[in-house]
Amino acid sequence: MRKHKITQISTRKALFFSFLVILELGLALALAAEATAATPATVSIGNFTSAPGETVTAPILISNVENYGTGTISVTYDPAVVHVASVSSGPDSTAVAWNINNTTGIVTISAWNIGGVSGDIVFANVTFKAVRTGSTPLNISVTTLKDISLQDITAIIKNGSFTIEAEQFLIPFLISGHVFYENGSECNNPHMKITNMNTSEEWQAEAHINENFYQITLNGGADVDATEVLQFEVTSPAHSQSNITFHTVTLEEINQGGLYNFNFTLKTASFDTGPSTYPYPSISGVHHGNFTPKRNIIVHQIFTYPCAGTGGHSEYVVFCDYETGERKIEVRWNGYQGDYHNITVSPPVELLKNRVYNYTIITGSYPQIIHRPSYENDYGIITCTKFTDINGREYNDWIPAIRLSP
């Protein structure tokens, strides 16, 4: 009898604990179902840009939706900026009715999927037409959004925008004029490169055959605009004379459509380092280096800048073609007589554009020195490879301050 009673108590405990387990499991499943059902979908429309008059199709998206069945969604917009031209269905959602009001700026769309669909879908497509420049928000309003059991679907809204950019109206900007040699005669068939120093864009102007007239048409507001700087690099056909001019474009010139009778007078190309900013220390010695002209340069005189109050000069100058080894220039000083800072090259010698020449220059007294490894200007580049002073000390950053001129 006692044993039977114990068995009944154990059975009741087992049933009680089983009930607790089932209850806890049911609660867990209910909570999980509630959590799943609480995951909201996202209704969104993107950000769009167009030019005036263009049409753009904007999809209304529903993301992370479970068993989408039907919905009614509105989009508001500024009708002064865009109009709605049409509405169409998405691949998984059929637009069954819509109302477009381009006076107040709202489109309302009803759509469905009778079989239900989950994931990311296009609720409907809205085609906008850009009316005029400006920007408008595209604001979404969800009236209804239900699954196939007609249960409400919670939605997060992400609005968009539509921007219409102004068309860039290009104004022809004509540059024209004539080119003359230094003596005033006409330079026919000139070469001209124009560079926008603000954008680095380059153009070649058109020269009329056997005439000294040139012209080029750029786009005002695109190629060139007010306050931008144009560099004009003009050379004769043989590159022996040139002119480099900088011009700041004005708003008046843009409005007038160009630069007219913009003429150039060429000058015979010469290479001039100019005087040294810091000429000391200075001492006589032997300079070795190379020189590369940026234009054809006819050399008739070689001038050496002296330190103030001294007889600084060059006693011997040699320029050799780097590739062939040919001595193009070899001249000597005539002593302290006349303009002894100049050495005359007779007959004159032409050093060619972009060709490398090695030089040896032996100086006397105290010539001005450019204390840099190289020096560059619009007419050429001169570089020191070695300078040995009269005491045997060597340097690689001593350049003689000289001028090579016709």
Q: Which domain covers residue 246, as residue numbers?
A: 171-268
Quote the number of domains for the chain: 3
Q: Taking 80 as the threshold, does the pLDDT of residue 323 lie above it?
A: yes
Same domain? 295 vs 379: yes
Q: How far is CA 330 from CA 95, 206, 299, 318, 333, in A?
A: 91, 40, 12, 4, 11
Same domain? 120 vs 157: yes
pLDDT for the residue numbered 395:
97
Whole-structure pTM value: 0.46
pLDDT digits (tens, 9 = 90+) for 8-17: 444 454 444 4
Same domain? 289 vs 355: yes
Any domain includes 256: yes
What value does the mean pLDDT take over residues 155-181? Answer: 89
pLDDT for the residue numbered 26:
47
Q: Taking 80 as the threshold, does the pLDDT of residue 31 lie above it?
A: no
Same domain? 232 vs 334: no
Please state the φ and ψ torsions of residue 13, each to the nearest 5 degrees: -65, -40
**Residue at a domain's end among 241, 268, 295:** 268
Same domain? 175 vs 155: no
Same domain? 199 vs 76: no
Any domain includes 34: no
**Residue at a domain's end among 110, 139, 164:** 164
pLDDT for the residue numbered 167:
62
Same domain? 293 vs 196: no
Cβ contacts of residue 329 below 8 Å, gap of 6+?
299, 302, 317, 318, 319, 345, 349
Any domain includes 35: no
Is the pLDDT higher at 52 or at 400? 400
pLDDT for the residue numbered 18:
46
Any domain includes 302: yes
Same domain? 348 vs 361: yes
If one counts every other C-beta atom within 10 angstroms of the C-beta of residue 110, the result is: 17
3-state secondary structure the chain: CHHHHHHHHHHHHHHHHHHHHHHHHHHHHHHHHHHHHHCCEEEECCEEEECCCCEEEEEEEEEEEEEEEEEEEEEECCCCCEEEEEEEEECCEEEEEEEEECCCCEEEEEEEEEEEEEEEEEEEEEEEEECCCEEEEEEEEEEEEEECCCCECCEEEECEEEEECCCCCCEEEEEEEEEECCCCCECCCCEEEEEECCCCCEEECEECCCCCEEEEEEEECCCECCCCEEEEEEECCCCCEEEEEEEECCHHHHHHCEECCCCEECEECCEECCCCCCCCCCCCEEEEEEEEECCCEEEEEEEECECCCCCCEEEEEEEEECCCCCEEEEEECCCCCCCCCEEEEEEEEEECCCCCEEEEEEEECCECEECCCEEEECCEEEEEEEEEECCCCEECCCEECEEEEC
Distance linking the first and last C-alpha atoms of the chain: 139
Is the pLDDT higher at 107 or at 339? 107
Is the pLDDT higher at 83 or at 12? 83
- Distance of alpha carbon 28 from alpha carbon 132, whole angstroms: 57
Same domain? 283 vs 257: no
- Distance of alpha carbon 381 from alpha carbon 293, whole angstroms: 6
pLDDT for the residue numbered 207:
85
Q: Taking 70 as the threshold, does the pLDDT of residue 28 lie above it?
A: no
Q: Taking 80 as the threshold, does the pLDDT of residue 292 lie above it?
A: yes
Q: Which residues pair with 119 in a beta bridge?
A: 65
Q: Which residues pair with 318 in a beta bridge?
A: 330, 360
In angstroms, what is the C-alpha Rg of the chain?
42
What value does the mean pLDDT take over residues 49-60? Answer: 92
pLDDT band at 235 (very low <50, low <70, confident <90, very high): confident
Same domain? 320 vs 242: no
In terms of Cα–Cα distance, which of 250, 262, 205 is closest to 224?
250
Least confident of 53-67, 160-174, 255-269, 295-309: 160-174
Computed over every residue of the chain, the mean pLDDT equals 89
pLDDT digits (tens, 9 = 90+) for 251-274: 999 989 999 999 999 988 789 999
pLDDT for the residue numbered 296:
87
Least confident of 165-169, 184-188, 386-390: 165-169
Any domain includes 12: no
What value does the mean pLDDT take over residues 195-207? Answer: 92
pLDDT for the residue numbered 130:
92
Token pair of 335 as six digits: 């002593």
Any domain includes 29: no
Token pair of 247 as six digits: 């011009």
Any domain includes 4: no
pLDDT band at 38 (very low <50, low <70, confident <90, very high): low
Residue 17: left (phi > 0), alpha (psi -120 to 50), or beta? alpha
Q: Taking 70 as the threshold, does the pLDDT of residue 238 lie above it?
A: yes
Contact 223, 201 (CB under 8 A): yes
Is the pLDDT higher at 302 or at 170? 302
**Residue at a domain's end among 134, 164, 194:** 164
pLDDT for the residue numbered 118:
94
Q: Which residues pair with 370 in a beta bridge?
A: 399
pLDDT digits (tens, 9 = 90+) for 100-117: 999 999 999 999 999 999
Same domain? 188 vs 312: no
CATH number at residue 386: 2.60.120
Q: How far is CA 219 from CA 203, 258, 356, in A?
A: 12, 10, 38
Same domain? 290 vs 322: yes
Q: How far is CA 125 from CA 21, 87, 113, in A?
A: 51, 6, 15
pLDDT band at 4 (very low <50, low <70, confident <90, very high): very low
CATH number at residue 156: 2.60.40.680
pLDDT band at 341 (very low <50, low <70, confident <90, very high): very high
Contact 126, 87 (CB under 8 A): yes
Please state the φ and ψ torsions of residue 166, each to the nearest 5 degrees: -65, 140
Any domain includes 252: yes
pLDDT for the residue numbered 169:
61
pLDDT for the residue numbered 52:
84
